[in-house]
Amino acid sequence: MSADGKPGLFAVTATSLDDDGAGVAQRDGLTVHVAELLPGEQARVQVVHKSPHHPTVWARVVAQLGPPSPDRVQPACPAFGRCGGCPWQHLAYPAQLATKQRRVAAALDGLIVPEPVTPSPRQLGYRHKGKYVAGRSKGHLALGAWAPRSHDFVDTTGCRAVTAGIERARAAVVTAAAAAGLAPANERHGTGALRYVIIRQARGGDVLIGLVVRSTAAGPAVDATAAALAATPGVVGVVRLDNDRTDGGLVDGAAVPLVGVATLDDEVAGVPVALGATEFAQVNPAQADQLYAHVAHLVAAAPGERIADVYAGLGGIAFSLARAGAEVVAVERDRDAVAALTAAAARAELTSITARIGDATLLADGGPPLAAVVVNPPRKGCSPATLAAVSASAASRLVYVSCGPESLARDLHALVAAGWRVDHARPFDLMPGTAQVETIVRAVR
């Protein structure tokens, strides 16, 4: 392909945006993804990679042609475009919401027209958990991320997506680890000890730090780092997490307390919970509260009605339903999550919650009939067995919480074929600056 008199250079106009923040255009039968080009913008580009399996190429801008999009804004983070996080930061927030709305509407076409996306209360500083790769920047220890599709280290100092408390704690880890001689791990050469750092902040401001190190990491260096961090304002605990995995996994084993507490006192859906460094919880708690409340509103449980919460996790939805007066059966595969949910429910005296380890087959437990079912599956959606179990139950109402619009649409079509009718859909933005969107759908018999 050639244009403009130069082989390999050609002009395109982006018409949409992909999940990685690249503008998407069509050219001579090819789908062209152009880094950082926004819909409506035109540029002369050069191909940097071609798919061996599909008529798709990736390109970079050589020269901008025409004016920038009116939706273009200055990214807030200094590492934008290099770290791979928040790849939509160059798109104004109203345009982000509109793009997510179109994606959900396209997926649900023929099923229902979704309501407008509920915006996040905060577009920056909303993330209450930070996960960092340890590396070197300008010869010094730094915390950051691997660049997309590579093992090139990117220093993410100044990240604006995380809370200010997490950013302060990140800087403190760099200073403390460097002073203690806790060197960053070099995965290629097998040197160094500090692999990753996990930082979690509770709503009240307390911070917990997890130091992910090789099992051979010298105790004195790790302990000295932890001791220095304990003197950092806001830090209430530091834990050690040994990890010798070679597959890039962040965690491999239990946390060992070094100083202070091993868990944070936080809350999920208004219920006090104990969160460790590694437990899954929504990183945008303020928006998660709105999502849980909307689920409870849609379920509309009458006092004493029996409701199943499948893929219950730490219990945000179950807590909301129980506080509304429902008898809740919380179903979750992860034993640790079930233990945490059960303990939190007991502390909050939510005796109407029963947590069980397993999957949707537990819906046929012979207990009182279910009035409603809530499912909140991973991105791949529900299995056919889960959908069959839901339809085989006595439930007259189903609320589906999804982070994958396309898998959601697939499952809804199967449910409609089984006799359900979709009567409500509303997307929620839990992760501004990214393509991620949560959608809540209600279906009735």
For residue 207, give both structure tokens. Answer: 């911070």
| Tens-digit pLDDT profile for residues 18-33 | 999 999 999 999 999 9
Share of the chain above pLDDT 70, in %: 98
Confidence at 122, pLDDT banded by 50, 70, 90: very high
Mean pLDDT for the stretch of residues 61-75: 96
pLDDT at 2 > cutoff 60: no
334-366 residue pLDDT tens: 998 999 999 999 999 999 999 999 999 899 888
pLDDT score for 190: 81
Alpha-carbon distances, residue 165 vs 118, 168, 176, 185 (angstroms): 26, 5, 16, 25
Cβ-proximal residues to 249 (8 Å cutoff; 6+ apart), any chain: 243
**Predicted TM-score of the model (pTM):** 0.92
User: Can you give the pLDDT at residue 151?
Assistant: 83
Q: What is the pLDDT of residue 116?
A: 97
* pLDDT tens-digit series, residues 256-308: 999 999 999 999 999 999 999 998 899 999 999 999 999 999 999 999 999 99
As a whole number, the mean pLDDT across the chain is 94
Split at pLDDT 50, 70, 90, the class of 1 is very low
pLDDT band at 251 (very low <50, low <70, confident <90, very high): confident
pLDDT number for residue 150? 83
131-165: pLDDT as tens digits = 999 999 999 999 999 998 888 999 999 999 999 99
Q: Which tens digits make up the pLDDT trace of 204-224?
A: 999 999 999 999 999 999 999
Asked whether the beta carbons of 303 and 328 are under 8 A apart, the reply is no
Is pLDDT at 4 greater than 60 in this prediction? Answer: no
